[in-house]
């Protein structure tokens, strides 16, 4: 029997947006978890696809009214909202933003429905305006889904320092990762050929990856600046030639200057036979294939609460190196045991060299990531947690008893 739908509110493809891609994958596995429920999406005007309603037009101050009207029409079991500050910020003719005021107004107008909000940015140390917004958001939602446990206990510290009560309707549900992407060693030569990496003069068999959206905060230059010396050291220790595969694309014109700088450094390494650049949109199967051909991946981000790139690294069980201490990247690296952390150039050099020189260690990290994927972050497990949140939020609405989860510590 067909049940009331789960309505999602989010950005959605073809928008070039990490949350749009996240919503697309989450929707797929929510449907698989309970095929009786439809999962329509109310998106921005650039979203499209079956069951997608592109109604969010941020040029209007009351952009949220069509969203509420559509929700009323769909009569959902629950409303599941993906939140990022930039997704719902109305900017007026003077260039002044509304501080997500429209988003909070929308939550108030949706008060008849169970509301689950999944914020994608909850920093460990909050600015005053962030703290104020999160407090109001939690008041208006039945359940708020944080990605990492540290976000929950840090919020408690932040709010206590302000003399505020900490919301107790916060549930920790990790960033999902696909459990169904599998490439064996026999597949890699074919994928390399498909990606154009087996042409004469191209990269050696062993590859380190810099994969994903090219943004100012994804500091590719930290690795490219020392790659020539690292490759020489690896060759000295093992006799093996290693190449650097940089693959991705720019999505924000504000990052054009850094994009050009990163590209020029890769091109200089390419002239020496040490690196190769592939331009592609980091989405869908090509994203996974680019990572699959790499023996391990370096994710040198300097501002990240959690990462869709890391979710794909985990999905493929690829060992990795990433920056610390840095929000969700550090948290998931510690929890999974599948990556190495660096805080300075020396540590990055040592981590990359160690992974390249020790195949057995790479295999051990991959084994840990496989278990972490299976037991913790698989989209199948995350979808089950979503379902629990939907039922819990709906029960709270029916009984009038607010949701309360115990503190992390």
Per-residue pLDDT, averaged over 311-320, amounts to 97
**Residue 383 shares a structural domain with residue 373:** no
Q: How does strand 115-119 pair with strand 275-279? A: unpaired
pLDDT digits (tens, 9 = 90+) for 51-82: 999 999 999 999 999 999 999 999 999 999 99
Taken as a whole, the chain contains a residue count of 409
* Cα separations in angstroms, 188 against 72, 180, 206, 334, 365: 49, 17, 11, 29, 19
Residue 406 is assigned to a structural domain of this protein:
no
Q: Which of 174-178, 207-211, 280-284 has the lowest mean pLDDT?
A: 280-284
**Residue 195 shares a structural domain with residue 143:** no
**Residue 294 shares a structural domain with residue 388:** no
Residue 72 is assigned to a structural domain of this protein:
yes
Per-residue pLDDT, averaged over 10-22, amounts to 95
Q: Is the bond preceding 325 in cis, omega lying within 30 degrees of 0?
A: yes
**Residue 284 shares a structural domain with residue 395:** no
**Residue 113 shares a structural domain with residue 228:** no
Per-residue pLDDT, averaged over 139-154, amounts to 97
How would you write the chain as a 3-class SS string? CCECCEEEECCCCCCCCHHHHHHHHHHHHHHHHCCCECCCEEEECCCCCCCEEEEECCCCCCCHHHHHHHHHHHCCCEEEEEECHHHHCCECCCCCECCCHHHHHHHHHCCCCCEEEEECCCCCCCCHHHHHHHHHHHHHCCEEEECCHHHHHHHHHHHHHCCCCCCCCEEECCCCECCCCCCCHHHHHHHHHHCCCCCCCCCCCEEEEEEEECCCCECHHHHHCCHHHHHHHHHHHHCCCEEEEEEEECCCHHHHHHHHHHHHHHHHHHHCCCEEEEECCCCHHHHHHHHHCCCEEEECECCCCCCHHHHHHHHCCCCEEEECCCHHHHHHHHHHCCEEEECCHHHHHHHHHHHHHCHHHHHHHHHHHHHHHHHHHEHHHHHHHHHHHHHHHHHHHHHCCCCCCCCCC
CATH code of residue 29: 3.40.50.2000
**Residue 167 shares a structural domain with residue 224:** no
Domain count, the chain: 2
Residue 230 is assigned to a structural domain of this protein:
yes
Residue 265 is assigned to a structural domain of this protein:
yes
Residue 2 has pLDDT above 90, yes or no: no
Per-residue pLDDT, averaged over 22-36, amounts to 97
* Predicted pLDDT of residue 305: 78
Residue 1 is assigned to a structural domain of this protein:
no
What pLDDT band is residue 201 in, cutting at 50, 70 and 90? low
**Residue 136 shares a structural domain with residue 154:** yes
* Predicted pLDDT of residue 1: 63
Q: Do residues 229 and 269 touch, judged by C-beta distance below 8 A? A: no
**Residue 73 shares a structural domain with residue 85:** yes
Helix orientation angle between 284-292 and 308-315, rounded to the nearest 10 degrees = 60
Residue 215 is assigned to a structural domain of this protein:
yes
Per-residue pLDDT, averaged over 278-290, amounts to 93
Per-residue pLDDT, averaged over 351-373, amounts to 98
Residue 358 is assigned to a structural domain of this protein:
yes
**Residue 219 shares a structural domain with residue 192:** yes
**Residue 194 shares a structural domain with residue 261:** yes
Residue 343 is assigned to a structural domain of this protein:
yes
Cα torsion 162, 165, 168, 172 to 10°: value is: 10
pLDDT digits (tens, 9 = 90+) for 327-345: 999 999 999 999 999 999 9
* Predicted pLDDT of residue 100: 97
**Residue 90 shares a structural domain with residue 211:** no
* Predicted pLDDT of residue 196: 87
**Residue 189 shares a structural domain with residue 211:** yes
Q: Do residues 246 and 269 touch, judged by C-beta distance below 8 A? A: no
What pLDDT band is residue 88 in, cutting at 50, 70 and 90? very high
pLDDT digits (tens, 9 = 90+) for 233-276: 999 999 999 999 999 999 889 999 999 999 999 999 999 999 99
Residue 105 has pLDDT above 90, yes or no: yes
Residue 200 has pLDDT above 90, yes or no: no
Per-residue pLDDT, averaged over 83-88, amounts to 97
Mean pLDDT of the chain: 95
Q: What domain range is 316 assigned to?
A: 185-377
* Predicted pLDDT of residue 50: 97
């Amino acid at each position: 029997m067909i049940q009331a739908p789960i309505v999602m509110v989010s950005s959605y493809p073809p928008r070039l947006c990490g949350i749009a891609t996240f919503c697309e994958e989450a929707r797929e596995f929510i449907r698989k978890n309970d095929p009786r429920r439809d999962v329509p999406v109310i998106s921005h005007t650039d979203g499209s696809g079956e069951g997608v309603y592109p109604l969010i037009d941020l040029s209007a101050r009351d952009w949220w009214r069509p969203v509420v009207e559509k929700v009323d029409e769909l009569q959902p079991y629950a409303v599941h909202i993906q939140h990022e500050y930039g997704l719902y910020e109305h900017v007026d003719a003077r260039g002044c933003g509304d501080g997500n005021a429209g988003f909070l107004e929308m939550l108030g107008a949706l008060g008849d429905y169970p509301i689950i909000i999944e914020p994608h940015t909850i920093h460990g140390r909050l600015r005053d305006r962030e703290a104020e917004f999160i407090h109001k958001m939690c008041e208006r939602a039945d359940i708020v889904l944080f990605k990492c446990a540290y976000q929950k206990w840090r919020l408690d510290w932040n709010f206590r320092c302000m003399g505020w009560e900490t919301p107790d309707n916060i549930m920790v549900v990790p960033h999902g990762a696909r459990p169904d992407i599998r490439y064996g060693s026999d597949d890699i030569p074919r994928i390399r050929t498909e990606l154009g990496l087996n042409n004469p003069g191209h990269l050696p068999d062993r590859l380190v990856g810099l994969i994903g959206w090219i943004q100012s905060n994804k500091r590719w230059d930290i690795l490219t600046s020392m790659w020539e010396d690292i490759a020489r050291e690896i060759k000295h220790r093992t006799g093996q030639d290693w190449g650097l595969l940089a693959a991705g694309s720019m999505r924000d014109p504000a990052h054009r200057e850094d994009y050009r700088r990163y590209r020029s450094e890769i091109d200089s390494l390419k002239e020496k036979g040490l690196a190769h650049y592939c331009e592609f949109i980091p989405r869908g199967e090509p994203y996974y294939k680019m990572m699959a051909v790499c023996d391990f991946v370096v994710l040198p981000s300097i501002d990240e609460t959690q990462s869709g790139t890391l979710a794909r690294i985990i999905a493929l069980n690829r060992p990795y190196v990433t920056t610390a201490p840095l929000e969700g990247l550090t948290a998931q690296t510690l929890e999974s045991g599948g990556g190495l952390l660096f805080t300075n150039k020396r540590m990055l050099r040592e981590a990359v060299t160690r992974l390249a020189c020790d195949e057995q260690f790479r295999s051990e990290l991959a084994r840990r990531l496989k278990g972490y994927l299976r037991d913790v972050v698989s989209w199948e497990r995350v979808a089950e947690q979503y379902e629990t949140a939907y039922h819990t939020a709906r029960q709270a609405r029916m009984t009038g008893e607010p949701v309360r989860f115990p503190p992390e510590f």
